[in-house]
Every structure is written in structure tokens, then in C-alpha cells.
Amino acid sequence: MTDRLWQTKLLARVHDPAEKALVLMRDPAGHEGGTSRFLRDLLFQDGTDVDMKKYVKWADWWAAAADRPNWPKDIWAQTHWEKEPILIHPLSGKEFDLRTLATTDYRQFKECSQEHFKRLKMSDGERADWKRTLLAYWRFGAEIPEESDDSKLGALWSLLPADTRVPDHSIWDHLDLTSAFAGVFATDENQEVALLIVSLGPVQSFIASARTTSDLWAGSHLLAHLSWEAMKPLCEQLGPDAILFPRLRGLPLVDRWLRDEVGIDSSLFEGSDWTTRGTDANPLFAAALPNRFVAIVPASHAQSLAQKAAGSARNWLQELGMKTVEELLKEAGYPDDDQDAYCYQQMREQIEGFPEVHWASVPFSLVRPRDRSKQRDIDIKALQQAMQPFFPESAEQPGFLGSDAWAVLQRESEFFSPNPGVLYPVIHDLAERTLASAKAVRPFEQMEQNGWRCSMTGETEWLTTNPAQLKRSYRQQEDTLWSRIHNSKPSWAKQGEHLGALPAIKRLWPTIFAKQAGAQRFVVSTHTMALAPSLEILSQEISEDKLQGLVSEKKDDTPALPRKLACLRDRNPSVARIPAALDRLKDQDNEGSDAVKLESVIKDILGYKPDAYYALLMFDGDHMGRILAGHDQHTAITYLQSFHPKVRNGFRSKAQNDNILKSYGDLKRAMSPNRHLAISNALSNFALHVAPFVIETEFRGKLLYAGGDDVLAMLPAVDLLPAMRRLREAYEGHSEKHRELDWRALRSNNGLVLKEGFAYLKGNLIRMMAGATGSCGAVVAHHQAPLAMVMRELRSAEQRAKNEGGRDAFSLNILKRSGGALSICEKWGDADELLRRLRKFLAQPGVSRRAVYNSLLWLRDLPDSTDESMLDQLLLYQLKRQTDRKTIEDYADLPGITQRLAQLAVKAGDTRDWLSNFMSIAEFLAREARAPEIDEAEQT
């Protein structure tokens, strides 16, 4: 891996200018004669050789064929994109119309682009540093600094299309893929490309073994780190653009590697959240990497790269295991310099071979171009034979090879002859099937464990300094490693807990990682979360003297607060210390007089007793496997949908009398690298930016973890319903209340705007998972309820949303301290909107709590044959009876609520039970302590 590799990749990265869509057919120099020529002259002062140019040309052809539809030979449509600037979402086909950019000066775009990339050039003295320059261009090319953006493209810069006829993928996607292919051509002695898929596991069992929310976060975060350690050798050898999924650009873990290990200029990272935030709001704490990756690699190096990936991940975990034991011994008061201590041996043995790593590699040489100089006229016999074992009884060609699209593309009299890049979907499909076969064969070595087992998993011995202790139950012993840990550091081990290697690593990982990240990790207590809305009101109403003597004046007694309330630490510190004061006074004062006095002061100011219930929320995207494989109909668009509207009209005109061509346009687009990049980018943006903004900025919650399409968060009970819905909208990237906003309105918006599969946040326009759905499970529980029990209910609720709800649904459980429980499982849409409307009505001061109670009594005598109209009128009558006249006059929404409530109740089938649960949940969430809901205006 020499400079030649990085030179070739750099040449590929500058073969098209970033502003191509804006200068095409406007610049007399042509799109290759402007910025591209400027950068070639800047970087390659000694020129480039013939082979490098050849590899870049091949790579460009392959990348274009993999990401774009093949075209008929005759040019029947052109687009002046600056006059009709349209972006098309690759997952939904939705159009984002930018109106016009025709008044802009293309020369200004060129100047901005040239100055931007000139600043990113990295040098080693007089000599250009090819690798660091390539990585700087890859990382920061798509982020033009505001002060350099004279053309005011802003957020649009990162989404400029690669092909104005098919504006569903950006120029950056094309440059990434071209660089990946070119690097392989320059590296493999036979210029043979392979697709490599690597998968780490186990996932679910590793994450699920948890006693606390901290354990849950640690499991997901550790897997993300293991994934990165597996990817790192490939990034070091071929560059991060060789990895197609997940997309690594902008991920904090990768940025830290670029700055600290590669040596990219640290000033380029200044201002990034991961360099400035001193708490676990820092995005380094997000588990934003999946447990698998897809990469373009040299065919001759595929096996060695896969083995390096496995070795890198396992070596990193072994080092972390030794660090964990060292920290445990130090905390417990044992000498930590004795590397022969028995627990070190246990750690090495118990994590040996973890994680499991499976991989599969498929070479593109299965598709051989007969004309190698032009990379066309391909022979697919070897590819057909390789696919045959997976379809032994099929008489037809499987997958893409048997599709109408492939049949049309072989009409060489009308279409350009396809190159191997066109068959990326077949290569990917074959690699996935091969990987599945590799996973089915799971060789393992049995690990002998004779002593007492880990109290969390029951699978391995618990770590000890004295192997003789393993012969007896830890319940019969007092001086063990873990009993000492509990006495000195209870957050690492609860009473009676004795952990094996992996659970111990998970338990200490939050502490170890916080030190590495240089940030403080804090956990908002369930009691603080329940009190959050009350604290916000108290901070505006209460005076310091009323709390004197009841609340500690020590700064250390201020508990961790949700980010939205963090300002209370300085603005009203006494109020910020109320949760800790209540907990301390109840523990220390048997009579509870001081605690009662403090509660009385709070109640007098609020007018009600503060809430004691909080909510846990778990969100998960639906059908992610199908989406990544291209088999999900809701997130796959047709060839015609991906065309610019002007091209679409031209295609329809040409296909009027050609049914085969017309059917080609109506077919779903095959899997492509662009699709993988788009999905990965959307998921990382959701996990790193959008979900944290929703939970912690729009609402008063605490994000426990976010990884791709998975979110676990804690919220005040009053924020739960709007937060659930908002998270679902954010995942898809669409909200009805933002539908009418235009592009210019977004520029002045400081919040989160969701429209047509895009999110506009903090000056960035980013694609989200348009067309995709997500399911949510939620639990409302008392802050003193055992967390393990609440987590079991939460997982159960999420599974009900997936199974009983049929996905794209939510499931909500309310666990009352008295022992009663309420639950509902419904599709998103009418049900969650109606629940919010009913809750809002019942929270009005003029509505008696007996409104629902009396209605439930009346429901017992409801005849089975009650129709919607009668049910509507009776519900309206009962609710009006318990509502004062002014509220009825002011709240015009009530008739609409009862009408929709009657419709959904009858549709549900079991009218009585459904209405009883639905109305009881709304009443519970509408009680005084849960009345101050976040104003929706704050979200727009």
C-alpha cells in the first residue's frame, strides 16, 4: 500500500468538480476544465501516469453504472439543473424543489470550490502528503465553511447531485464510489475487485444481558466500538471511502481517528460537538455504528482484510478486559500490578474469540468484460453458476438476472453495453447469501467453567482473585472482589452482584470511556425525570428563602438534570437540588417531618403534588433487513421516479410505443451503493443529531442510547405522547405541519423541520429514512418501581407494537404503583393523535376527573349493538356533564374527539375494553401533575 494508491484515489476524487450540477452547460471550460483541472494542477505538479488515468476512467464507468440507470443511446433529454433544481429522495421518490438557482453566478461557485479544496491540501514539507490530503478531501469536501460560502449554497452543498438527470444521489456519493473502485484497481495486481461483507455478533444476547439502563447503553456502545475496531484496518489500508455501508463520514469515532492517529489538521475539527461538549451529550457517547459493514476491496486481499478485521476487534477487547480487571483490583484495594492474578486469567479465557466474526467475499471477476479497455460486453456465465446453488429448483434466472430490467439493458441496439458495475445488485445478493451460509456453520470451542457462575448471565464464572472462592456460593462469603467493589463503588456492583468477564466490561465501560472521551457521564435519576416539569415551573415561581434549611447548599448535592433544564444549576440552584433533597430527607428522617415540609412548600406553590411517574421509550425502525436488501416496497422507487421531471417527460414520450421500455421505467430500482450510502447516512444522522435534538432539546428527556434506528430514552410522563410521535416523524423525515414550508423558510428556522423525507437542523439539510416506518414501545411507571421489571415491560411493549400492532405502531403500558395496569397497542395516525387530543381536553381546569370515571361506569351497561352515532352522542353527553360551561364554549374540539373516539372503539371490536383502556390512559396522563405539556410551537 504505497503512495500510488493514495495518488490514484485522489485523482479519482477530483475527476468531477463538486459544483458540477451548477456549471454544467454554463461554463465554457466544461465541468472538467474548471475546478477539476485546477486541483489536478495543484496536486499533481509532476503529472499522472497512463495507468492511473486508466484506473480512474474505469472506476468512473463502474460507479456510474452501479448508481444510475442505463440510458438509451440517443440523447433525448437534457436538464439545465440551475433553472430547475430538483432533489429526489432515493428511498421514496419525493421531490424537493429548490425553485431556481439561475440567477447565481457559476464563476462564484468555482472560486468557492477551488479555495475550499486548496485549504484542505495537506503537505509534508515541500512534498504533498497524499494520504492525509485524500482523507481531508473525503471528510471535509462536503462541508464548505460558512465564511467561505460566498455563493450562499449552505446546506445544499452536501446534496449537489452527481447527475442532473438522476438527482437522487449526490456528487459526494459518486466521488466516494469512484475513489473506492480506483483504489482497488491500483492495488490488486490483476485489477480485480471484490465485495466484502463482515458481520460481528452476537448482538441481541450481548445487549439484553443488563440490569440497568447504563448496562443497556454500554452493550450497544461497546458493539459500536468493536465494529469500528474491525473497520479500522481496512480504513488504514484503503481509506474509509472503501466502506459503502455504514457511511463513516462525520462519525465522531472516525473523526477522532483522523485527528489523533492520522494527523489531519486539528483546526478543521474545531467547533464540532465531540470536541466541545463536556458531558455525555457529546456524540462520542452515541452508539451510531451497526454490527456489520460492506466494503469494496482488492480480490487478492479480501481474506487477509477480513482476518485483520476480526483480529483487530478481538485484540481491542482483550486490552479493554485487562484494563477492566486493573480498575477493579485498584478500586477493591488489591495490588493491580500482579498480572498473574487469577481474575486476569479468567478475563483472557472468557472473552477469547469474542466477538464472533463472519465474513463473505464475492469477486466482480464473476462478471468478465470481454472488451477490457472499455469495460463492456460482459460475460455473466460464471456469475450465473455461482448463484445456482442458492436456487437449485429454479428454472429461471434468480433476482436481478431474471428481471425485466436486465432483459431491457441487454438490448444493445438501443442501450449502451453494460459494464460490471451494473451487476452490483447481483454481487451484493450473492455476498449476502454466502454470508448467511457462513453464519449457519458456527464452529466453537467449549469453555470449561466449574465454579459458581456470573449473577447476571449465569454462563461464566464470576471474576475472583482466589479460585477457591468459586467452590462456594458468593452469598456465603463476604471478602470477595465484588463485595469489596460494592462497598467502595456501588455503581459498579449492586448488593450481591458477582459478574463474569463480559458483564464486568459492560459495567465499567461507562467510566472507562468517559475518561477516554474527556467528558463527564451523568445519569438522570428516575425521580428527577418525574419531577422535571414541576422543577421548570418552580424555578419561575419559588424564591430562595422558602427553601432555606430544606435544601442543601452544597453544589455536589445538585443531581444530573435533563439538558433542557440544565440552566437551573446556575439560575436557580436551590430548585435544582430539590430531587436530591427529597430523596435524602426521606432516607434520613424516619418521621419524615422535613420531607413532608418540603413537599408541602412545593405543593403550595404548584397547587398540586408533583408527579412521581416517569416514562421509558424504546423506538426501533421496521424491516431494516429488507430495506438494506432492497426488498422493501415502501422504500424502493422506480427507475422513472428517480429521473428529473424533465427527463421523466422525455422518457414517457419515447416509451409511448415501446412497452418493454415503458415497463423498464416502472420497475423498482435495483440495489445500489448509493442506496446503501443514503440509508447509512440517514441512520447516522438520526442517531447522532435528530433523535438527541428531539428528546433533549424539544422535550425534557434524557437519551440513554441511540444507534442507527434504535432509540432508548427516558422522559417525564407528560412529554411521552408528543415525543413518541415526533420521534416517528423525525425517523421518516416528514411532518404534516411542515408540509407547506418552502426552501427559503427553512433558512430562518432554528428548530427541526421535517419535510418530504428531509430534515433541516442547525443549518444542515439531510436525508432521512423517507418511506420507512418505525415502531415504539413505552412504559409509564413510578420512579421507585424496580428498573429491571420496568425494562421487561418495555421490551414486551416494543414487541407488541411489532407483532400485535403489525409494525408502524406504538404500544403503551401504564404501571400503577397500586398494582393496576393499563395498555394500548395501535397503529400510528388516528389513535395517537386522538389520545393526545383527549388528554389535552381532560387536562383543562374546567374538566372534572369524574368525567372519565362516570363514563366508565356507564360503559358497563352499554348494549352490544351500540352504533357509532349513538356511542358518539352518549360520550359527548357524559363528558359535557363533568365540564364547566366556559370550557365547553372554549373547547370546540370536543365533538370531534367523541366522534372519532366512537369510530375507533367500534372498529376495534371489543368496544367496552378498548374505550375503558383508552380513556383511562388519557385521564391518567391528564392529571394535574402531568398537565404542563411542551408547547408544539417550540418544535417549529
Instruction: Tell me the per-residue pLDDT of 75-94, one tens digit each, with 9 for 90 and over.
Output: 566 788 888 899 999 999 98
Give the pTM.
0.90
Helical H runs in 188-300?
204-208, 213-238, 252-257, 273-276
How do the residues of the chain divide into helix, strand and coil, expressed in percent and rounded to 5?
A: 55, 10, 35
Q: Give the separation between CA 418 and CA 377, rounded to whole angstroms.
A: 7
The SS3 call for residue 127 is strand
Residues 6+ apart with CB under 8 A from 879: 841, 847, 851, 855, 894, 898
Residues 6+ apart with CB under 8 A from 394: none
pLDDT at residue 149, as a whole number: 60
Q: Give the separation between CA 520 and CA 514, rounded to whole angstroms.
A: 6
- Model confidence at 868, in pLDDT bands (50, 70, 90)? confident
CA distances from 58 to 142, 182, 376, 393, 846 (A): 24, 8, 10, 37, 73
Chain centre to alpha carbon of residue 881: 47
pLDDT at residue 617, as a whole number: 95
Given a cut of 70, whether residue 745 has pLDDT beyond it is: no
Q: Average pLDDT for residues 834-852, to the nearest whole number? A: 90
Given a cut of 60, whether residue 244 has pLDDT beyond it is: yes
Given a cut of 60, whether residue 607 has pLDDT beyond it is: yes
pLDDT at residue 651, as a whole number: 86
Question: Which residue has better confidence, 356 or 567?
Answer: 356
Looking at every residue in the chain, the average pLDDT score rounds to 87
Q: Average pLDDT for residues 303-331, to the nearest whole number? A: 96
Q: Average pLDDT for residues 133-138, to the nearest whole number? A: 96
Taking a C-beta distance cutoff of 8 angstroms, is the pair 934, 726 a contact? no
pLDDT at residue 126, as a whole number: 66
Strands 774-782, 809-815: pairing is parallel
pLDDT at residue 816, as a whole number: 92
- Model confidence at 46, in pLDDT bands (50, 70, 90)? confident
Taking a C-beta distance cutoff of 8 angstroms, is the pair 285, 521 a contact? yes
| C-alpha cell recorded at residue 609 | 403534588
Question: Which residue has better confidence, 588 or 475?
Answer: 475
Q: Average pLDDT for residues 330-342, to the nearest whole number? A: 83
Q: Give the separation between CA 620 and CA 623, rounded to whole angstroms.
A: 10
- Model confidence at 620, in pLDDT bands (50, 70, 90)? very high
Chain centre to alpha carbon of residue 129: 34
Given a cut of 60, whether residue 556 has pLDDT beyond it is: no
- Model confidence at 277, in pLDDT bands (50, 70, 90)? confident
Given a cut of 90, whether residue 366 has pLDDT beyond it is: yes
- Model confidence at 59, in pLDDT bands (50, 70, 90)? very high
The SS3 call for residue 215 is helix
Taking every pair of C-alpha atoms in the chain, what is the biggest distance, in angstroms? 93
pLDDT at residue 372, as a whole number: 83
Q: Average pLDDT for residues 61-85, to the nearest whole number? A: 82
Residue indicated by cell numbers 505538479? 45
Given a cut of 70, whether residue 746 has pLDDT beyond it is: no
The SS3 call for residue 196 is strand
Taking a C-beta distance cutoff of 8 angstroms, is the pair 714, 704 a contact? yes
| C-alpha cell recorded at residue 925 | 396522563
Helical H runs in 149-201?
171-187
pLDDT at residue 76, as a whole number: 61
Look at 401-410, 411-420, 815-824, 859-868 and tell me which has the smallest mean pLDDT.
859-868
pLDDT at residue 920, as a whole number: 93
Residue type, 77: A
Q: Average pLDDT for residues 353-365, to the nearest whole number? A: 95
Q: Give the separation between CA 260 and CA 243, rounded to whole angstroms.
A: 21
CA distances from 803 to 78, 773, 797, 908 (A): 48, 14, 10, 17
Say what the alpha-carbon torsion angle 765, 768, 770, 775 is, to the nearest 10 degrees.
Answer: -150
Listed residue (782, 783, 773, 791) closest to 817, CA to CA: 782
Given a cut of 70, whether residue 256 has pLDDT beyond it is: yes
Q: Residue 726 burial (CB < 10 Å; 0-12/13-18/19+)?
A: buried
- Model confidence at 938, in pLDDT bands (50, 70, 90)? very low
| Long-range contacts of 651-654, Cβ-Cβ distance < 8 Å, separation of 24 or more | 651/76, 651/77, 653/76, 654/72, 654/76
pLDDT at residue 777, as a whole number: 97
pLDDT at residue 864, as a whole number: 67
Q: Average pLDDT for residues 816-838, to the nearest whole number? A: 91
Q: Residue 663 burial (CB < 10 Å; 0-12/13-18/19+)?
A: middle
Say what the alpha-carbon torsion angle 320, 325, 330, 334 is, to the nearest 10 degrees.
Answer: -160
499: which strand partners? none
Q: For 388-437, what is the HEC assignment?
A: HHHCCCCCCCCHHHHCHHHHHHCCCCCECCCCHHHHHHHHHHHHHHHHHH
pLDDT at residue 940, as a whole number: 43
pLDDT at residue 545, as a whole number: 65
Given a cut of 60, whether residue 356 has pLDDT beyond it is: yes
Given a cut of 90, whether residue 196 has pLDDT beyond it is: yes
Q: Which residues of 472-502 are buried (b: 16+ CB within 10 A; e: fewer)?
A: eebeeeeebbbbbbbeeeeebbeeebbbbbb
